[in-house]
Amino acid sequence: MTEAFTEIVIPKEKAVFWLDKNGCWHNDNGKFRHKKIIDFFHASIRKDKNGYYLYQENNNCREKVYFHYEDTALFVFDVLKKDNMILSLNTGRRVNLNPEKLIIQGDNLYVHVEEERVKFSERSLMKISDLLEFENNQYFIKLDDKRYRLQEVR
C-alpha cells in the first residue's frame, strides 16, 4: 500500500523570501549569505502553470512555495568552454548555448532555453565578454569563427 502525500502550497503573497534581479535570494533580514541554503533554493526551483516555486519533499509531505522575483527566476551562473559552450544554470541544469537564442534587453544579456528566458549573471557575462562585439550599433557574438548578430529588445 502506498502512502498518500500531503501537499502544502504557499502562494507567493505569503512567501517570506524573493529573488532579486541579479539572482540573489533575500528575506526581511537581507541577502542570504549561507552558500548551502542558496544552492538548495536554486536547485529547488520548478515551474508550473501558476509560476515559479521552490519544491521539496519530506517524508509524506510535498511543499511548493511560490516566490516573487524581480526579473527572471532563471540565471546563467557559469559558462563552460569546451567543444561547445555549455551554460550552467542556477538550478544546476546544463544546456548548450544556441547563439541564435541570445537577446539583449537594456544592459542585460538573456538566452531563451525552450520557453524560458534566462539571464546571464555578471560572472557568466564576464566569462564570455571576450566573444562579444559591438559594431554599427549592433551586438554580435563570435563562436567557432562564425559571427551571430544578437537580437536587441527595447
Using DSSP's 3-state secondary structure scheme, residue 142 falls into strand
Residue 3 is predicted with a pLDDT of 67
What's the pLDDT at 92?
A: 97
Output the pLDDT for position 4: 80
Confidence check: pLDDT of 145 > 90:
no
d(CA 132, CA 148): 10
Rounded CA-CA distance 32/26 in Å is 5
- E strand map for the chain: 6-10, 17-19, 25-27, 30-31, 45-48, 51-58, 61-66, 68-69, 75-81, 85-89, 94-96, 102-105, 108-113, 116-120, 132-135, 138-143, 146-149, 151-153
Q: What is the rounded CA–CA span in Å between residue 148 and residue 103? A: 11
pLDDT digits (tens, 9 = 90+) for 33-89: 999 999 999 999 999 999 999 999 988 999 999 999 999 999 999 999 877 899 999
Please give the pLDDT value at position 2. Answer: 59
Per-residue pLDDT, averaged over 121-131, amounts to 94
Domain definitions of the chain by residue range: 6-69, 75-153
pLDDT at position 1 over 60 = no
Dump pLDDT digits (tens) for 13-43.
999 999 999 999 999 999 999 999 999 999 9
With pLDDT > 90 as the criterion, what percentage of the chain qualifies? 86
Per-residue pLDDT for 128 more than 90?
yes
In words, the CATH class of domain 6-69 is: alpha beta
Q: How far apart are CA 105 and CA 94, in angstroms?
A: 23
Intra-chain end-to-end CA distance of the chain, in Å: 56
The amino acid at residue 120 is: F
> In sequence order, what are the residues at sequence separation of 6 or more whose Cβ sits closer than 8 angstroms to the Cβ of residue 5?
57, 60, 61, 62
Mean pLDDT of the chain: 94
In sequence order, what are the beta bridge partners of 62? 7, 57
Instruction: Quote the pTM value.
Output: 0.91
